[in-house]
Amino acid sequence: MFKGSNVALVTPFKNNQLDEENYIKLIHFHIENGTNGLVPAGTTGESPTLSHDEHQKVIELCVKESSGKLPVIAGTGSNSTEEAISLTKHAEKIGANGALIVTPYYNKPTQEGLYQHYKAINDKCGIPILIYNIPGRSVIDMSVDTMARLFELKNIVGVKDATGDLNRVNQTLEKMGKEFIQLTGNDDNAMDFNKRGGVGAISVTANIAPKLCSEFQKNSVKNDDKSIQETTKLDEMLQPLHNAMFVESNPSPVKYAAKLLNLCTDDVRLPLVKVTEKTKGIVEKALRSSKLI
């Protein structure tokens, strides 16, 4: 169910309020342009600055508007285990297909603490769970051995790997096999990630280039010469765009790109700010190189 190009959806704002109209338009934009899955209320969706009600609302709208056409993997993580349980139970209740749960940030739990955090969520919920391992933001790194322990539980089905370490794909595949879903959280390594056994991405770039990202993912898991050539061609086209999306803190660059494509405003919530003039130029150049403007 969880494979291909899954978009880490931005949350549009207008006057610092959730812009429901443009959010709904974005969801249908992805349904119509080949995206394989929707991931609301993640880091790119500015979950740290969404109120609890807003967090639930963006997931509810995503489930409602996608209407079963695309799987919805709801961002329900927190550094509070009880809050993560509450958000995950809500996502399950309203019909999300899965939950993306980040490793607890700031608390710095041990590997045993990580295991117990996810086990507690697993035991209270009945929805497939993807571990979101992103040491660059959460400080801690879940080991492959801890993931293997978690995979023995009923609801833990895979990982969004944002470590940037491609050797992890091989290590995870060797330890858990192909049944354990591996999605990259790094757009720039998606080609090599899939070559090593990954099955897709949770993508920032897909917000603005859904067709290209979906086509890239479709070809990247095939081994025939034509598909390999097409994957390489698309990867070369997308790399400047991938890099531009992280010149400043995500999602400020991708929101500026979305503004240029008339998808939503470039408003972000403090402590994030809009991108600088220099970054605007980099984003615009990348959009042109990818033939999006």
The residues facing 37 across adjacent strands are 6
Task: Tell me whether residue 25 is one of the annotated catalytic residues.
Answer: no
Q: Active-site residue 160, yes or no?
A: yes
Burial of 11: CB neighbours in 10 Å, binned 0-12, 13-18, 19+ = buried
| Residues in Cβ contact with 52 at an 8 Å cutoff, skipping those fewer than 6 apart | none
Catalytic residue among 23, 115, 132, 256: 132
Beta bridge partners of 280: none
Rounded distance between C-alpha atoms, residue 286 and residue 189, angstroms: 17
Report the alpha-carbon distance of residue 16 to residue 33 in Å, rounded: 28
The whole-angstrom separation of Cα 258 and Cα 262 is 6
Kindly name the residue from 3, 160, 218, 280 that is annotated as catalytic.
Answer: 160
Burial degree of 194 (CB within 10 A; 0-12, 13-18, 19+):
buried
Active site residues: 132, 160
